C-alpha cells in the first residue's frame, strides 16, 4: 500500500505527528541540560515577561566605556588569528513597573557590549546582560576583589596554560584571563550556563579590555547602583 492510497485525513494526521516529533524536545535533550532559549535568566527579565503589563520601562545611561582592542600574542594564538576588536561597554540603570501601580516595580543594571564595525564612530551591539538590584552589592564587592587579585603578584600561572578569575551576577560575567604570562580582562553577557562549558575565547559574546580598565567599569556600575536608589524613590 502506498502513501497516496491512504485517505487524505490519515495523511494529515501522519504529517502532524511527524512535525510534532521534531518540534518537541526529547527527554535526552533535557537531560543534557538543554533549556528553552527564551527562559528568563534574571528576576528583572521574569518580571517583564510575566508580570509587568501594561508596563512602563525606564532607562538611564550612566556611562559608556571605550574599549581598545586587546593586544596579546597568547590570545591571538588561542583564537586562531581572530583578533579582538575595539568596542564599548554601556552601563544603564533600569526600572520597570506596572502602569498605574509604581510600587509593583523591578530594578536592575544592564551592560551593553558593542564592537566597532569598521566604519568610523559606528558600533554593533553584540550582547546585553542584566544584574538584578538585590545582587548588585555582592557583584560590586566581587569586582573589587577581582581588581585587587589581578594586581597581586601572587597571581601566577606557573606550570599551567591559563588562569581565570571571574565574578558573575545575573547574566553578566566579568573576569581576568592570564595566558602564558599575559593578562587581560573580559566581559561576557548572556547565559552563564553556556559560557562555563567552553573556554573564554570560544564564546562569541565576549569583549576584552585591559586589566587597568576594570576599576573604571566597577565605578560605572557603582554609579548605576546609586542611580537605582533614586529611581526606586520616584513613585
Helices (H), the chain: 8-23, 27-31, 43-50, 73-78, 136-151, 192-195, 214-233
Specify the pLDDT at position 52.
95
Specify the pLDDT at position 159.
67
Specify the pLDDT at position 194.
83
Question: Which burial class, exposed, middle or buried, applies to 211 when counting CB atoms under 10 A from its CB (0-12, 13-18, 19+)?
Answer: middle
Domain boundaries along the sequence of the chain: 43-233
Specify the pLDDT at position 85.
78
Taking a C-beta distance cutoff of 8 angstroms, is the pair 155, 165 a contact?
yes
Specify the pLDDT at position 195.
83
pLDDT along the chain (235 residues), means of 10: 50 44 40 47 92 96 90 60 77 96 95 87 90 96 93 64 88 89 88 83 86 95 95 77
Specify the pLDDT at position 176.
92
Cell numbers placing 157:
600561572
Q: Which residues of 32-62 are buried (b: 16+ CB within 10 A; e: fewer)?
A: eeeeeeeeebbbbbebbeeebeeeeeeeeeb
CA distances from 218 to 94, 135, 192 (A): 17, 14, 20
* SS (HEC) of 129-163: EEEEHHHHHHHHHHHHHHHHHHHCCCCCCCCCCEE
Amino acid at each position: 500500500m502506498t502513501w497516496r492510497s491512504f485517505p487524505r485525513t490519515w495523511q494529515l494526521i501522519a504529517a502532524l505527528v511527524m512535525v510534532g516529533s521534531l518540534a518537541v524536545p526529547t527527554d535526552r535533550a533535557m537531560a543534557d541540560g538543554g533549556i528553552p532559549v527564551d527562559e528568563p535568566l534574571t528576576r528583572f527579565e521574569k518580571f517583564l515577561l510575566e508580570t509587568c503589563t501594561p508596563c512602563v520601562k525606564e532607562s538611564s545611561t550612566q556611562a559608556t566605556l571605550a574599549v581598545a582592542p586587546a593586544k596579546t600574542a597568547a590570545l591571538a594564538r588561542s583564537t586562531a588569528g581572530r583578533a579582538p576588536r575595539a568596542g564599548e561597554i554601556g552601563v544603564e540603570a533600569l526600572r520597570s513597573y506596572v502602569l498605574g501601580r509604581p510600587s509593583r516595580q523591578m530594578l536592575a543594571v544592564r551592560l551593553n557590549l558593542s564592537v566597532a564595525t569598521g566604519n568610523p564612530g559606528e558600533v554593533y551591539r553584540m550582547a546585553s546582560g542584566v544584574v538584578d538590584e538585590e545582587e548588585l552589592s555582592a557583584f560590586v564587592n566581587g569586582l573589587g576583589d577581582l581588581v585587587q587579585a589581578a594586581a597581586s603578584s601572587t597571581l601566577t600561572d606557573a606550570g599551567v596554560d591559563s588562569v581565570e578569575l571571574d565574578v558573575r551576577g545575573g547574566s553578566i560575567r566579568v573576569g581576568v584571563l592570564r595566558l602564558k604570562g599575559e593578562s587581560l580582562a573580559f566581559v561576557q553577557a548572556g547565559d552563564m550556563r553556556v559560557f562555563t562549558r567552553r573556554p573564554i575565547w570560544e564564546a562569541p559574546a565576549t569583549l576584552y579590555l585591559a586589566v587597568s580598565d576594570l576599576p573604571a567599569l566597577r565605578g560605572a556600575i557603582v554609579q548605576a547602583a546609586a542611580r537605582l536608589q533614586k529611581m526606586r524613590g520616584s513613585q
